[in-house]
Chain A
Amino acid sequence: MGNSNSVTLQPEEVERMQNETGFSASQIERLYSRFTTLDKFGNGALSREDLLRIPELAINPLGDRIVHAFFRDAEDESINFLQFLKTLAIFRPIRKGREPRYNSREQKLQFAFRMYDLDGDELISRDELLCVLHMMVGANISDEQLASIADRTIREVDQDNDDAISLAEFSEALKRTEVEGKMSIRYLN
């Protein structure tokens, strides 16, 4: 497994990726080996099933949504290594003193927003919120209570009264939260 795959990275590709995502060369190598491990059929691209095949992701309540957010910008339902890297670059920890180009707070929030937004209209509607809530809270809460929770949630931040949460409202709701810590992965440093 691992690096036994046919396509290895060329140095100029690595450098290009470095520029575009901010990862270091060794990290890119590491992530490439992970990419090839996940890529079962060796065609240089990941599909949704490849990701969902990971056992811990399958049991993650929001596993589907995470994969959906990964594949948001993908054409033909597969992502190549560069897209994979770009998505992961969002999760790099923000280092003091360095201007975050790929992992700023806004980008992190935007990724999280995409988890909720199924249809891609840049709005979290009530149904989308209900869906995610249902996944997170489990099956033991009655639908009407979930509905009232969803209603309340939207009501709290909905400033333009469109009964949906836009990205701006979403960011506003999370302004006290320490998003940088919650959405950063040390391994990617």
Chain B
Amino acid sequence: MTAPDRRSDVPARLLGRPRSVVLLFVVVLLLIAWCRPLGAAPASRSDVSNSSTRPATTVAVTSAASETGRSHRPTPSHAGRASPTSVSVPNVTEYSDPLFRPYDPNRLYPHVRYFEVGKVDFEHVRAPFVIGCWILIAGLAKMAFHSVPQLSRMVPESCLLIGLGIGVGAFLYACLGDIEASHHLDPDTFFLYMLPPIILDAGYFMPNRLFFDNLGTILLLAVVGTVFNTFAIAGGLYVVGLSGVYGVETSLLDIFIFSALISAVDPVAVLAVFEEIQVNEVLYILVFGESLLNDAVTVGLYHMFEEYMILGHSAFRMTDIGKGFVKFASAAVGGTFIGVIWGFITAFLTRFTHKVHVMEPIFVFTMPFLAYLNAEMFHLSGILSITFCGLTMKNYVITNVSAKSHTTIKYMMKMLASCSETAIFMLLGVATVHNHHDFNLVFVLATIIFCVLVRSIGVVILASLANRLRLRPIAVVDIFVLAYGGLRGAVAFALVMLIDPHYVKEQQMFLTTTISVVYFTVFFQGMSIKPLVQRLGVERANKRKLTMNERIHERALDYLKAGVETIVGHPFSYNVRQRFKQINHRYLLPCLTRSNHTRARDPKIMETFSKLVMVDAMQNFNDITNIGGPGGQNLCSSSTTGSRSDSDDSPMPKDGRPVISPPPPTPPPGPPPRRFSYRRHVTGDEPLPNPVLTALDQLHMTQDMDARRLLQANGRGSGRRHSLVLGRRRIGSEPSRDRQLTEAPEADRRGSGGHGLQYTRL
């Protein structure tokens, strides 16, 4: 069908060209610059800060956001409320430009005697407008990158985004003058709003089995590795500092605080980089799992050292070390516990949402967010909480919600996560452009060297230790990638900004060093990891599609192993999984999922079967409509990777099209099949390739034409014809009513003898 394509082609071609995107981009930038706070409220930041801030320059998302609660109309008394250390505020009523002066109800406008037809009241919308502009820039940036394939192949996206951020930062610096870094990337906003979506996305789509199989190694790397890193880096930096090469005095405690936050591998950066290089699943889950789980350790250590810092050096006692360890053990366990509880509550809630399908995604998003906040409230590990919440609730939620809600949830999660990640990297770049850097070259070099060295040593030792105990040893090149992939990112940056400069005098130096380390890892390591992975021959992600045999036999082997372990009398074994499945099947599933779903013992077998049946059906369809050689191949291969059964449409159209014979026994439309491994930017809803669509369209067309010819032959009026065509169209497609989105497949599910399936696996 070329006609619709041509029409839709123009905007595509327009936006596909980098030039036009850049143009759009510049327009948006100008927009932001235009939102100069011409009558702005002063920077009434409540925290004490050393650097002077020019009060009239607050374009930043965050401080704008922090003002949303307050009135935007600056009153003269506002100046009095400013904190004593900030520069005095110019009187806002001195601006002479009537167009841009904000409306002040207390003032009289003597010169304005006429009714103002138009007003420009930017202050009213400033905060959301600026936030919207930043998000827009983030989206445009992503679009621009992907339209230049050479660039996106060589350079990972995170680097480009940081680079872009630096560009924007430079632009804003030129327009608005110097702004403090925390104006752009406020740590609170980062931790409360920007980090949770990414972690939720990661936790929800985590491949459970893989994670728990490798949990031992992951814990070893995360806990022991991070603690080792912290102490080793701190020790190294302190020892080097004793020789005085830094030029500044750094106490041991300050170094400890710094090394606590710099030694943690960052989940955002790891996700961003590893998503693009697609290593094998075990390596991926190790790096990724480690970056998630070390948050507990980081939180614990950071808070512990911070307490000491506040209490003063003299308050340090030996028992405090013990207390510190207890603290971060409790941070980990407590965070996990909170997450699991919230996960179960969410699963339970979704059991009752079958009357309000539209609201289902709300639960799935809000409750993990609340879990995160809940954990943060108690100073436990919020990341662990939200991860385990997502992990726990996924299985039950998938069976409870309708297919459309599930698609919504998937897309929304990925969208939020992508958006958040883009914004984080960009703001990281923007926040580096300011005057207050304290760049201590020796310190920076020492930090980088120690980070790399300590990480390598730590990983090598721990991985070799783990290899003794693992059934499937980690390959040596994988260990190398594990060590090399220890990227630092925005979490470290946010943590270093939280350090109070009153207690730690060298906070600015630490900040600059952290930025340098983050840049080094993201740029140097991030860019070089892809060619390294290829050169070293690291095993790549095995995009295998499971065959029926593999699925069945692997399951049988699982049972076999569990059985033999029972015979041998192995105390702590595979049976944990079997036991959990038992408990799950008997107690949890009936409680947390709707009762009209019958529970098959092993839904994965059915899932593979239905997928393969669909492949067969597509093959049959292909043969019948003779699409031709290469197109036909496309059809079958892509239909398995793009699991189309995610949507509500049944695999075969239900209207009067020729039935493909012989129809295979249609598998019960169960919950949407899940991916084999975690991919950030892939949701599994990729549309079928064009050959199928054109074939279907052709079928549509020919049938409509037949119908029309038939009707014309009978001499009916146009009204009747329309209704016939419309009628046929509507039978095959979803009901177009807005509210009632999902009832049809539910009915099907119930109708076909209640063969809906559930997942009993963790």
Binding site for B on A (CB under 8 A): 31, 34, 37-38, 51, 54, 56-57, 59-63, 66, 69-70, 88, 91, 93, 96, 111-112, 115-116, 132-133, 136-138, 140-142, 144-145, 148-149, 152-153, 156-157, 170, 173-174, 176-188
Closest residue of B by beta carbon distance from A61: B559
Q: Does B577 contact A (CB under 8 A)?
A: no
* A143 shortest CB reach to chain B, Å: 11
Given A60-B578, A153-B548, A173-B547, check contact A148 B553 (CB 8 Å). no
Chain A residue numbers with a CB within 8 Å of B601 are: 61, 136-138, 140
User: Quick check: is B220 within 8 A (CB to CB) of the other chain?
Assistant: no
Q: Which residue in B547, B549, B556, B753 is a CB contact (below 8 Å) of A112?
A: B556
Asked if B249 is at the interface (CB within 8 A of a chain A CB), the reply is no
Residues of B within 8 A of A (CB): 469, 471-473, 542, 544, 547-550, 552-570, 573, 575, 578, 582, 598-602, 605-606, 609, 612-613, 664-665, 667, 753, 755
- B575 pairs with A56, CB closer than 8 A: yes
Interface contact B472-A178, CB-CB below 8 Å = yes
Given contacts A136-B601, A137-B602, A186-B471, contact A60 B562 (CB under 8 A): yes
Sample (11) of A-B pairs whose CB atoms are under 8 Å apart: A34-B568, A56-B575, A132-B552, A132-B556, A136-B556, A148-B664, A152-B612, A174-B554, A178-B472, A179-B557, A183-B561
Measured CB to CB, the closest approach of chain A to B423, in angstroms, equals 40
Whether A183 contacts B559 by the Cβ 8 Å rule is no
In the complex, which residue of chain A has the Cβ closest to the Cβ of B569?
A34
Q: Which of B469, B547, B552, B554 has the largest number of chain A CB atoms within 10 A?
A: B552
Known: A137-B606, A148-B664, A156-B549. A182 touches B564 (CB 8 A): no
Please give 8 more A-B residue pairs, beta carbons under 8 A apart, in addition to A141-B606, A145-B606: A34-B568, A88-B567, A91-B564, A112-B560, A141-B755, A152-B609, A156-B549, A173-B553
> Which secondary structure dominates chain A's binding surface?
helix
CA distance A116 to B556 in the complex (A): 9
Neighbouring A residues of B569 by C-beta, 8 Å: 34, 37
Report chain A residues within 8 Å CB of B553. 112, 170, 173-174, 177
Among residues of A, the one whose C-beta sits closest to the C-beta of B612 is A152
Max count, chain A CB within 10 A of own CB: residue among B471, B612, B664: B471
| Residue contact B605 to A137, C-beta cutoff 8 Å | yes
Would A174 and B550 count as touching, CB distance under 8 A? yes
CB neighbours of B563 from chain A (8 A): 56-57, 60, 62-63, 66
Known: A137-B605, A177-B553. Is A60-B566 also a contact (CB below 8 A)? yes
CA distance A153 to B556 in the complex (A): 14
Contacts of A132 in B (CB 8 A): 552, 556
Residues on the A chain within 8 Å of B547, using CB: 156, 173
Q: Which residue of B lies closest to A175 (CB)?
A: B550
Please give the distance in Å from A144's CB to the nearest CB on chain B: 6
B753 CB, nearest partner CB in chain A, Å: 8
Check if A136 sits within 8 Å of B549, measured CB to CB: no
Closest to B467 in A: A96
Contacts of A187 in B (CB 8 A): 565, 568, 570, 573
Evaluate contact between A177 and B559: CB separation under 8 angstroms.
no
Considering the complex, give the chain B residue whose CB is closest to the CB of A113: B553
Smallest Cβ-Cβ distance to A34: which chain B residue: B569
- Which of B556, B598, B665 makes the CB contact (< 8 A) with A140? B598
What residues of chain B lie closer than 8 Å to A156, measured between beta carbons? 547-549
Q: Is the CB of A183 within 8 A of B560?
A: yes
Q: List, in ascending order, chain B residues with CB within 8 A of A70's CB.
A: 567
Q: How far is the CA of A111 from the CA of B753 in the complex (A)?
A: 38
* Docked-complex contact A136 and B554, CB < 8 angstroms: no
Cβ distance B335 to chain A, nearest Cβ, rounded Å:
29
CB-based contact B568/A177 at 8 Å: no
Q: Is the CB of B556 within 8 A of A115?
A: yes
| With contact pairs A93-B471, A173-B547, A187-B573 given, residues A56 and B578 touching in the complex (Cβ less than 8 Å) | yes
Nearest chain A CB to B196's CB is how many angstroms away? Answer: 35
| Nearest opposing residue in chain B for A179, CB measure | B557
Q: How far is the CB of B339 from chain A (nearest CB, A)?
A: 29
Q: Which residue of A lies closest to B616 (CB)?
A: A152
B598: nearest chain-A partner, CB-CB: A140
User: What are the 4 A-B residue pairs with the smallest beta carbon separation, nearest first?
Assistant: A138-B601, A173-B549, A66-B563, A62-B559
Q: Decide yes or no: A138 and B578 within 8 Å by CB, A177-B550, A188-B568 being known contacts.
A: no
- Give min CB distance, B546 to chain A, whole Å: 9
Taking a contact as CB atoms closer than 8 A, the residue among A37, A38, A112, A140 that contacts B599 in the complex is A140
